[in-house]
Structure formats: C-alpha cells, structure tokens
Amino acid sequence: MGGSARLLLLLPTRTYRTEDFIDAAHTLGVDLVCASEKPSTLEALAPDSLLTLDFADPDAAASSVAGWSKERPLAAVVGVDDVTAAAAAAIAARLGLRASAPSAVAAARDKFQMRQCLAAAGLRVPRFRRIALGENPVLAARGVEFPCVLKPLSLSASRGVIRANTTEQFVVAFKRITALLARDDVTVSGDAARYLLAEEYVPGLEVALEGLLIDGRLHVLALFDKPDPLEGPFFEETIYITPSRLPEVVQQAIRTTTAAACAALGLTEGPIHAELRVNDDGPWVLEIAARSIGGLCSRTLRFGTGMTLEEIILRHALGWPIDTLERQRPAAGVMMIPIPRGGTLKAVQGVEDAKATAHVEDVVISVHVGQEVVPLPEGWQYLGFIFARAAAPADVEDALRIAHSRLKFRIA
C-alpha cells in the first residue's frame, strides 16, 4: 500500500513534532517530502523531497506546491501545528486532498473568530472583546469585567495568556503581550499582530480532548485531565493524564460540546486538539485547534496494537484504513516540565533517577546546556517531558510528580 504514495509534511524548523511524524511516515512506507519555512542545507541536492514554503502565507504556499507537484503528484498533505495547519488546508484545497476547509482552519487559528463562531452557534463562551494593541490600555480596561484573561489571538500553549484581576494588572498584561508580539521569535501577521483578546475568566477544571474528524464526525481519541490548578496569573500547562477521572456524564458533555464546536467552526477532517473548562454551568470551550496535541505529548497515546497518533493522522490524510481508534487501556500521562525562572541552563541532574521511578517510561530533556530558557508568559519552550503509564490515573500522576522531584535544573 505504501511505496508510491507521496506525502507532504509541513514541519516548521522549531516544532517538537518532527521526529514522531517522520517515524510514522517511515513506518507507513510513504514517499516522504518535508517542507519547512527555512531552506534545508540539502534542498538543492534533494529537490524531490525537500521544499521551502512560506507557512505564514497559505495561498502562496499552495501556489508553490501546486507548481512543484505537477511532476510529483501528492497523495496527502499534513501540517503539524497551528501555522502549518492553515498552509496544509490551503494546499489540500488547491490539490483536492483531504482536509478541513481553509476558512474553518483559519477560524480555529484566530481566537476572536473562534469565539464569534462558537457564540453564533449558541455554545457557551466567555464574554470576550478584541482590543487593538494601539488602544490606550487604561481606557480599554473600562470595557471589561474582572477577573479577565488577556491573550494573543494566535499563539499556542498558553504563551502570552495572562489573568488580570484589576485595571492595574490589565495594563501590565496588555503591555506585556504587546511586547511579546514584537519579539523576533514570534511570527504573527494580520489581525494577530494588531489585536489581543480580553475575555471573562472562567473558573473550573480544565481538560484537553484529542480527536480526529472523519467526514465531519468527531472521534474522541483521548480525554486528558489537567490535575494542576490553572488559575493564573499565567497558565502553565504541566500534567496531562488520560483517561479522565471525571464522571461519565461530564465526559459525555465534553465530547458533545467539542463536536458541536467543531461543527460551528466548519472543521470536518483531520486532528483536533480542544481545551475546555468545566464548572457547574457545564463545559466551556476555551479553544479548538485544527492540529494534534503539541510538544512530545502524543507519546502518551497508543492505539490498537501500538499505532501512534501520528500514524493515525497520516493514514487519515492518505485515506488509508485505520484498524481502530481505540486507545490502549492503561492510564498514561505526561508532564511538560516547566521553566521555573529565566536564565541559561547550566546543568541537569537526576535524569537517571527520574527514569527509574516506578511507572515512568521515559524522561526527555529537550533543552541543551548553555541554552537560554524563558518562563511563561513570554517563554516558548519546555525543559522537557516525563512520560508515565500505569493501571490507574492516580498512579500515573504520582509517578510524574515523583520523577519531576528527582530532576534538578541549574539555571543561572
């Protein structure tokens, strides 16, 4: 079945997702083509398998690929993060490949558009307001109720998300986000470079839902609890554990709400990653991204006899059969190791001890000694990832916390 099927993977140079997607492509035996936003040093020598595309301009990327693929027909295109999902959708639309509509992916990418779509569909959303970065923040604060959350329109993984309880905190957060969006390592354009979103703070538990859309139907692949409280002022994601320990009736409400939100956005095909809050009012969709889970977190998931999430995503894009979407039974979890303070990483100790923790499968340190590390809300990295698997979610959570306590990061 493999062999001749040519697959285009859109892989930003800074994504965590490269290894897992390339491994999946290798497992499937496809003819792999990789595109990045910056040229590979080998592109001139391997023009049939390496491309450079402007991911920030999906239409331009689609035009480039349309020309390139005349002599090299593509069977599928897959983006691995928010930016590349938009480019992949544009390419797929141009070439008639399987993906959600570009307009739907764009709506999911822009938190303001998303809020509008969800509200118009009658879904429960926090009160929200888009504010131009050029506005006077003191005056802008008069138009919101406290506590509120300020966030960029398009960054992911809680980057730039700040809670404000007072006008003073609002102004500080506003200026901080404005400065963040001007950083060299932030790539935003259009509205995302000119506005931020201020919205009502929604108290409650937070969960993440990983799903796959096939012909407009949502298949839930995993529901993750986030046991660490996310109450601000920053919203650092740490532990994800599946299966959820929430009552089945609540889980069903989360699934139903997420499916309705996908429909409201017009998403019909491919992976989605949703973040929701749950309180006495029910589930609130915080966001739905037209991509799979970020970082290395997908390594917690195995399906059927060991299929990875990336294999499922590639099989779906290729239109190949998928034996099962059933997650393997043991509970599993990941800790995204937070950055406690800014500075330069000088040393990491305790990795072997952490790996030796009962139920821990692996510990991956993803920054290198000598590297600058920046905490939230400006930060863009994790120190690494801890993975655990056990019979019960509580055992997974304990293992992750014990392993983390054994790691020592010297940052100066």
Partner 1 sequence: MTEAATPDLKSRVQELIDTMINPAVAGHGGFVELLDVQDNRVYLTMGGGCQGCGAADVTLKAGIERLIKEEIPEVVEVLDTTDHSQGTNPYYTAGKS
Q: Does 344 bind partner 1 (CB under 8 A)?
A: no
Q: Does 36 bind partner 1 (CB under 8 A)?
A: yes
Euclidean distance between CA atoms 50 and 114, whole angstroms? 33
Q: Does 37 bind partner 1 (CB under 8 A)?
A: no
Q: Does 381 bind partner 1 (CB under 8 A)?
A: yes
Beta pairing, strands 31-36 & 6-10:
parallel
Judge if the upstream peptide bond of residue 147 is cis by omega within 30 degrees of 0. Answer: yes
Q: Are 333 and 393 in contact (CB under 8 A)?
A: yes
Among 1, 4, 26, 216, which residue interacts with partner 1 (rule: CB under 8 A)? 26
Q: How far is CA 353 from CA 35, 358, 364, 367, in A?
A: 38, 10, 13, 19
Q: Does 412 bind partner 1 (CB under 8 A)?
A: no
Q: Are 327 and 302 in contact (CB under 8 A)?
A: yes
Question: Nearer to partner 1 by C-beta: 21 or 284?
Answer: 21
The residues facing 270 across adjacent strands are: 213
Among 367, 383, 399, 403, which residue interacts with partner 1 (rule: CB under 8 A)? 367
Question: Nearer to partner 1 by C-beta: 174 or 380?
Answer: 380
Euclidean distance between CA atoms 124 and 281, whole angstroms? 9
State the DSSP H helix or E strand holding residue 4, giving kind and residue range, or none if neither: none
Q: Does 48 bind partner 1 (CB under 8 A)?
A: yes
Site string for partner 1, 286-325 (x = CB under 8 A): --------xx------------------------------
The residues facing 242 across adjacent strands are: 332
Identify how many contiguous H helices and E strands the chain contains and give both numbers: 11, 19
Q: Which stretch in 39-47, 163-171, 192-200, 398-406 sits in contact with partner 1 by CB under 8 A?
A: 39-47
Q: Are 284 and 278 in contact (CB under 8 A)?
A: yes
Taking CB under 8 A as the criterion, which residues in 112-151 touch partner 1?
A: none
For residue 256, which phi and psi values (nearest 5 degrees)?
Answer: -65, -45
Q: Does 52 bind partner 1 (CB under 8 A)?
A: no
Least separation, in Å, of the C-beta of 110 and partner 1?
Answer: 14
Euclidean distance between CA atoms 113 and 134, whole angstroms? 20
Question: Nearer to partner 1 by C-beta: 25 or 173?
Answer: 25
Q: Does 45 bind partner 1 (CB under 8 A)?
A: yes
Among 2, 27, 49, 350, which residue interacts with partner 1 (rule: CB under 8 A)? 49
3-class DSSP state of 289: strand
How many chain residues bind partner 1 (CB under 8 A)? 45
Least separation, in Å, of the C-beta of 234 and partner 1?
Answer: 13
**Which residues contact partner 1 by CB under 8 A?**
11-16, 18-19, 22, 25-26, 32-34, 36, 40-46, 48-50, 81-83, 155-157, 159, 185, 294-295, 364-371, 380-381
